[in-house]
Amino acid sequence: FSETEKIPVMRGQWFIDGTWQPLEEEESNLIEQEHLNRFRGQQLQESFDMEVSKPVDGKEAIHSLKLSRNHVDWHSVDEVYLYSDATTSKIARTVTQKLGFSKASSSGTRLHRGYVEEATLEDKPPQTSHIVFVVHGIGQKMDQGRIIKNTAMMRDTARKVEEKYFSNLATHVEFLPVEWRSKLTLDGDTVDSITPDKVRGLRDMLNSSAMDIMYYTSPLYRDELVKGLQQELNRLYTLFCSRNPEFEEKGGKVSIVSHSLGCVITYDIMTGWNPVRLYEQLLQKEEEELEDRWMSYEEQRLLEELYITKQRLREIEERLHGLKASTISKPPVLKFKVENFFCMGSPLAVFLALRGIRPGNSGSQDHILPRTICNRLLNIFHPTDPVAYRLEPLILKHYSNISPVQIHWYNTANPLPYEHMKPSFLNPTKEPTSVTDGESTSTAPSPTTSPVMVRRHYGESITNIGKASILGAASIGKGLGGMLFSRFGRSSTTTPEPGKEGAEGEEKKTTTVGTPPLSHSSSGFLEPIVELEHRIDFELREGLVESRYWSAVTSHTAYWSSLDIALFLLTFMYKHDQEDPDKSNLDAV
């Protein structure tokens, strides 16, 4: 969809009795014009009586209009009938009239000017209290209308959830697609011109999808991608507020749902991250390393002179920026405050790790995204999505051993509120020795997940059935096969043999670096020394008959129509309204 395309708005004027379907616009306009010319100023009935379909026997038509395939007779100002002029209809009409039936009762279709129900002031959509910008990732160039279709799916799914759980609320959430890719020129057709012709279809698909990642890592085109999304977000927000002036006055909120690479670009826009800042940090680190090593007198003198010159240069730049800031007030990057930032299938954690972000000692979201910029960060992913990564271990390292929060199924009765779900171990301290043991421990009732199936987390092997054959196949190929096995099986830990659990096991436990000790109760829930203020990683549940390797292919694009995700999004966006128990049909989630 582009701005140059026009979408016709159809307005019904004349409707068919019984079905109340509108006539074709061309015929409707002709009938309306004839009706006004003949009956302008005459009064219609105030309301439709109960026998609107009763034929007007014995009444002669006081006016007629010939159309291309039909004709219309007016028996009075509000008694109008449509007749077909097809040969079979004429024959049938002649026969029935000779049998004593009226023309109207034999083959006429009564028309009504206006709909069966009159519009009232209450006939309007509920006030929008929360808008959600839906940002696409890679591949939009390949199908420019995809984000509009995906947003429509998400909107329709959210409407179903609203009707079931939030029907008593007077406001609603509106989802708006943000298509930022098609307006960018980038390298023009340079990449296409250097693309070989063999397997051209596959190459074009890669050029239209994966190439966006290369563009974003390029210092030449990165800013164009950032500005493209930033300008489109601001344009849509300004346009929405101009058409809904009460939105800002009544404290309307804005959230962003981003997918794939869109999460990284949105994050960089909100935080103002720039590669130049990382380059300056590297230079500073090099200076510190130079100071630590032994240097000759001449080297030391030159280094001090360079340091003084750089310091003087920074002072001049700061003064220059100060002068510019006093004369020109720089507008904010985004024209709105982001309430919730939902990442779906996001590689953001990898980008942050490669930028040098390391776990800290505070459980605050501020470590990666200050709450002054965004009130809440939530990372949603399917357990087999190969593009998605966790964010919590970048804040507190020991959360790599804590399972993500399981997103409730859409039809779960009385779900436990997410705030009350306690963290639980991801990797068991002892691997079950048999399938029976594994099932007995995994199926223990848990108030946090209420599972209906045996849940095997990342740290466990893919399955205990046929385990030896899978491990054998994985050991044959240590290349791509090994990578896939480690990615989707997540077999990152090995359990020591029973006979070797002793001094060696104790030594390994004591030499673990960077992981604070965790205390846990017999119920299996963690009691970590430092906890996150709010959980960030939320994981969809796997299906009962879902193949992990097949879902790895489909899961990255399966978020849009998920009822579970729609309920999850609305739960957090209606959070303030849910504090009043009378406002919602849904228990606190």
**Residues annotated catalytic, as ranges:** 260
Q: Rounded to whole angstroms, how far apart are CA atoms 301 and 524?
A: 61
Write down the H helix ranges in 10-102. Answer: 25-39, 87-98
What residues does 340 pair with on adjacent strands?
A: 376
Helices marked H in 40-114: 87-98, 103-107
User: Which spans in 250-295 are helix H?
Assistant: 261-271, 275-292
Nearest Cα neighbor of 418 from 534, 585, 531 is 534
Residue 255: both structure tokens together: 């959230």
In this structure, what DSSP letter does residue 430 have?
A: S
* Spatial distance between the Cα atoms of 423 and 527, rounded to a whole number of angstroms: 8
426 within 8 A of 526, measured Cβ to Cβ = no
Residue 105, burial from CB neighbour count under 10 angstroms (0-12, 13-18, 19+) = middle
Q: Which residues are within 8 A (CB) of 4 and not within 5 positions of it... i.e. 6 or more apart? A: none
CA–CA dist 120, 469 (Å, integer): 69
Helix axes 275-292, 297-327, angle to 10 degrees: 150
C-alpha–C-alpha distance, residues 535 and 410, integer Å: 20
Q: Give CA torsion, residues 415, 407, 163, 376, to 10 deg.
A: 110
CA dist., res. 508 & res. 496, Å (int): 11
CA distance 314 to 213: 33
How far, CA to CA in Å, does 105 sit from each of 80, 94, 190, 529, 531? 12, 12, 71, 84, 78
What single-letter amino acid sits at 326? S
Residue type, 96: T
In degrees and rounded to multiples of 5, residue 518 shows phi and psi of: -115, 130
